[in-house]
Amino acid sequence: MKLRLGILGADDSMEIIESVTQEFEELECLKIVYWNEEDIFDLIEPHIHDADLWLFSGKVPYTMVKEWGKISVPMAYVPHMGASLYRTLLHLSHQCEIKVRELSFDTFSARELILFLKEAGIDEGYTWLLHYDGAITAGELADYHEKLWREGKTKAAVTCLRTADMELRARGVPVHRVLPTRAGVLSVIHMLLRTHEMLHFKDTQIAVQIMEIDPLRELAGGTFATDEWQNAEIKTMEKLLRYTKHLQGSLKTAGPGRYAIFTTRGIMQNVTSDYRAMPDLDEAFGIHAEWVTCGIGIGKTAYEAEIHAGTALLHAKERGPGHWMVFFDDKSIAGPLGSQEQISYSSASSDRLQTLSQQTSLSVLTLSKLDSILKKRRSQEINAHELAQYMQILPRSARRILMELESNGLAQVVGEESPNPRGRPRKVYRIIL
C-alpha cells in the first residue's frame, strides 16, 4: 500500500516539489496550495487524517501547523538555505550587481547566514536580517523590508515567503524570492521516509503492562473465606482478559494480585493517548482505576520490556495506589498518567547531572525529576509546596532538597509567598542547574 504524503505550499514551490515526488512510486500525494497564511488551517483541517506524512514548502506554514498541534504524523519543511540561497545571491550579484550588504534577508538565523556566506566564499557579511522562531505574517515581513528600502539602506529584499514576495511586489519594492531546489526537496522526502520507518519499527516494539490489583477489594461483604478469595481473583481475571483482548495482547499472572499483559508499543500508545492518560478501565471493563497500580515498560525484547515495566511499577507504587508510570527503552520515565503534574525524566546518568549529584547528596534521578519539573513549568522558580506536589513527596522532603541545592550554590531564595493571611510564608527558590 502506498504512503500518503500531504503537501502544503505556495504555488511556485509546489511545482518544484511535484517534479520530485513523481520519482517516488511508493508515495501518493495530496496537494494543497495556499495563497494566504490565514487560510492554512481551514485548508488543512479536512485532511488531518488523510496523510501519513506532511511536507510544507517553507518554515512559516510548517511552524503554524506545528503550533496548531492537530497533526500527529511526521512533518517537515523544505529549507531555503544552501543551494537555494546561493542561486539567488548569484543572480543578484551577476545580473543585478547588488552586493550582500545591500540586501535585507528574512527567515534565516544569524548563525545560519554567517556560516553560509563563509562556506560560499563570500567575504562581505550581511547587514539586515529579520529572524523569527514562530509564525509570522507576510505583512510583517513586507513592512520590515519596505522600510529599509525606502530609507535607502537596501537595494532589494530577499524573502523565503511567497506571500511576502507578492506583497512586496505590490508595494513596488524590488524583491527576490528564495525557492527550494530539487535536491533540497529530495533530501527532506528521504528524511521523512526514514522517520516513518523508524516510527513503524517503534510501534512494533514490545510493551508490557504490569498491574497490581488487590482482589480483596472485590469482596464487598468483607468475608475472607478461601472460596471468596478465589472467586474474586477469577472475576478480576475475566475482566483483565477482556481488557487484554482489547489490547490484542496476552495475559499472564505474576504473583498474587499481580498481572502482566504483553502487547505492542503502538497499541499501548493509542490506549493511553500517547502516554498522557490512563485507559477507561472502569467504564469499559469494570475494573476500578483507583484499585490498580500499574507500570508500563517498553523494550526491544519481551524480557527488556518486562524489566522496564517492573521498574515503572516501583515508581508508581512510590506515589500510591491508582498511579500509572511508564519506563521507555531510552531509560526515560513518564507519569503519573492522567495527572496535571505529569513529568518525564531520565533514569540514565548524564555527565551534567552526575557532576551535580557528586556535588550534593541528591541522586541523579532526583535531579532529573527536578530538571523536568522546571522545564514543564517553564520557570526556574519554585517553592517547597509546589515541588512536593510534582514529586509526590512530603513538603519537608521537598524543603530538604531545596536547602541542599541552596547550600551548594545551586539555588537561591528570591522571595516569599503567603498562601493565606495566617499561613506560614513559603520561600521561593530560583534553581540553577
- The one-letter code for the residue type at 302 is A
Q: Is 212 left (phi over 0), alpha (psi -120 to 50) or beta?
A: beta
Report yes or no: 27 and 5 within 8 Å, Cβ to Cβ: yes
The CATH number assigned to the domain holding 423 equals: 1.10.10.10
- For 114-134, the pLDDT digits (tens) are 888 888 788 778 889 998 877
Does the residue 344 lie in any domain?
no
Does the residue 184 lie in any domain?
no
pLDDT value of position 136: 82
Q: Which residue has the cell 509546489?
A: 14
The CATH number assigned to the domain holding 61 equals: 3.40.50.1860
**What average pLDDT does this structure show over 190-205?**
81
- For 66-110, the pLDDT digits (tens) are 888 888 889 999 888 777 888 888 888 888 888 999 999 998 888
Q: Across the chain, what does the average pLDDT equal?
A: 86
pLDDT higher than 60, residue 223: no
pLDDT higher than 60, residue 188: yes
What's the pLDDT band for 369 if we cut at 50, 70, 90?
Answer: confident
pLDDT higher than 80, residue 413: yes
Q: Are strands 75-77 and 27-33 parallel, antiparallel or unpaired?
A: unpaired
Q: Which domain holds residue 107?
A: 83-179
Considering only 70-79, 83-92, 172-181, 239-248, which range has the smallest mean pLDDT?
Answer: 83-92
Which pTM does this prediction carry?
0.53
**For residue 119, what are the CA distances in angstroms to 81, 191, 315, 408?**
12, 24, 50, 45
**What average pLDDT does this structure show over 230-256?**
85
Residues 69 and 111 in one domain: no
pLDDT value of position 221: 52
pLDDT value of position 359: 86
**For residue 367, what are the CA distances in angstroms to 311, 329, 360, 387, 391?**
18, 20, 10, 12, 11
Does the residue 185 lie in any domain?
no
pLDDT value of position 236: 82
Report, in this order, helix, strand and coil percent for the chain, each rounded to 5.
Answer: 45, 20, 30
pLDDT higher than 80, residue 269: yes
**For residue 127, what are the CA distances in angstroms to 102, 106, 345?**
8, 12, 42
pLDDT value of position 58: 85
Residues 374 and 426 in one domain: yes
